[in-house]
Amino acid sequence: MKRWIIGVLVSFIIGTFSACQLNEENLLNQSGAFHIVSGSENITLEPIIQRWSQKNKVKVNISYKGSLEIAQILESGAVSYDAVWPANSMWITLGDSKKMVKNSESIMRSPVVLAIKKSLANQLNWVTGNPTVFVRDLLENMENGKIRLMMTSASQSNSGASAYFSFLNAFAGNPDVLQSEDLVKPELKNQIKHLLGEVNRTSESSGFLKTLFVQKYEQFDAMINYESLAIEANQSLIKEGKEPLFLIYLADGLAISDSPFGYVDHNDSKKLEQFTSLQSYLLSDPIQKEILSFGRRTGLIGINLTEADPTIFNPEWGIDIKKTLSPIKFPSAAVIREALDLYQSAFRKPSFTVFCLDFSGSMAGEGENQLKAAMKQLLLQEEAKKHLLQATPDDVTIIITFNGDIINQWMVNGNDPDNMLSLFQKVQSSETNDGTDIYEPIIKALESIKTENTKGNNPAIILMTDGKSNENNFEWMKTEMQRINAGFVPIFCITFGDADPKELNEISGFTDGFVYDGVKDLIAAFKKAKGNN
């Protein structure tokens, strides 16, 4: 029951957040407003921005998007925003080929750390005596089963990408800057595949990862995440009477997110004046102290933290504010792109994904067209590459189409473009009719996952529907799940039209999945769902 309640609450929060995004076009059309596109890690800082807004009588609208999405917006050149605020300068480097971003300054910083249960860190001799922990030490203990690790997707989340580049740097022998030729070294390819293959759970966002770790505390030992979110996790764990995490700053694999706030140059002197005022406000001493209270580092890393609250930057949690941290340097845009492509298509842990696609009568028209367009972005590998969603040679993809019954089921092993094209053509030729049963395809998907050997693959079910089920119910599904005993498989739901949120929240909450709103931006919802797999 507790698991279901937490899942429903998380889904409700995200649903509320998604509903706010429905108004984004209206917000961007507001005359005189100042528009910011920001990483979601800045949500907790929005009240600080709104105080400036009220004081200066300037309406500020903030749209929260993923790191890759911000880079893609910049890359398009059609940027409707006045400022960008991603988690890391890497995403400006990757996307801003037209050099639209000016006057960028780091507002705060957060190292990406290995946060591990303190008792386990003690067993590994990683606590006392200021030990030096390397990436190879992490890999060794993952391979021998001592560390069950969670991290975010490197192709969808900044914390995952930052950790990924740290690992690459370590396995390449710590060059001054990672180069393209490093990525083809056999030893690097072997080590990074081993490390990523041992990851027990991935997520599309750092916040969800933190929440899930606290929720599923007994199932995992450690997570790769921002220092600030590890602090938040510890605050939650202590309230629940649980052992806190100990933060490890990997000696040869440390990345720091620098949270750059940059002006998008539209040759508008008034907007530039507003940006300059807001940026100066964020960098002012009082606001920097307030940001520090949120567990974000301000000033120079490891040097200017004399006013840090030791109950937040707690030394008992492995946080040494006097230690100077030496982060990796991020490579050029071309190498970033090449490395992210390799992560998605060759290095990451392979996935086993079952798509349950609603072809009931109510999907006819716009819903059907959207669903087919979304599947085109995934299954056609040249399209998938644009969104870093391409398959690996070891992926397994199953598609189940349904209405009131199971209509068809198809499976493809690997990422052969012709096979994936054939799979898409089958989806494309599918027709809508009849009623809706969202529970039977889930059970069919679980049976397929158990029948096929999923060892070594990340299993997930992605349910795409607009309907309320006419057949079966949640209790029937739970009974059938016990019968099948397919193990832990998260279910991610993407909504169309008037899909019943209660039913979908029950399903995703019970399986530690998520509900994504596909009504306004189906592709964005689709990327988030796939980012967990």
**Is the distance from CB of 244 to CB of 99 less than 8 angstroms?**
no
How far is Cα 154 from Cα 67, in angstroms, rounded to an integer?
10
For residue 318, with 0-12 CB atoms within 10 Å meaning exposed, 13-18 middle and 19 or more buried, which class applies? buried
**Is the distance from CB of 312 to CB of 295 less than 8 angstroms?**
yes
How far is Cα 426 from Cα 412, in angstroms, rounded to an integer?
12
pLDDT tens digit at each of 533 positions of the chain: 434 433 433 343 334 333 344 344 444 555 679 999 999 889 989 999 999 999 999 999 999 988 888 999 999 998 999 999 999 999 999 999 999 999 999 999 999 999 999 999 999 999 998 889 999 999 999 999 999 999 999 998 999 999 999 999 999 999 999 999 999 999 999 999 999 999 999 998 898 899 999 999 999 999 999 999 999 999 999 999 999 999 999 999 899 999 999 999 999 999 999 999 999 999 999 999 999 999 999 876 544 577 789 999 999 999 988 888 889 999 999 999 999 999 999 999 999 999 999 999 999 998 899 899 989 999 999 999 988 899 999 999 999 999 999 999 999 999 999 999 999 999 999 999 999 999 999 999 999 999 887 778 999 999 999 877 888 889 999 999 999 988 889 999 998 877 778 889 999 989 989 998 887 777 778 888 888 87
Give the pair of three-digit tokens for residue 92. Answer: 């400006």
Domains and CATH numbers, the chain: 31-106+260-295 (3.40.190.10), 110-256+328-338 (3.40.190.10), 350-531 (3.40.50.410)
How far is Cα 78 from Cα 95, in angstroms, rounded to an integer?
12
| Residues contacting residue 85 through CB under 8 Å, at least 6 positions apart | 36, 37, 38, 39, 42, 107, 259, 260, 261, 262
Let me know the angle formed at the C-alpha of 343 by 198 and 139, rounded to the nearest 5 degrees. 30
The answer, as to whether pTM is greater than 0.85, is: yes
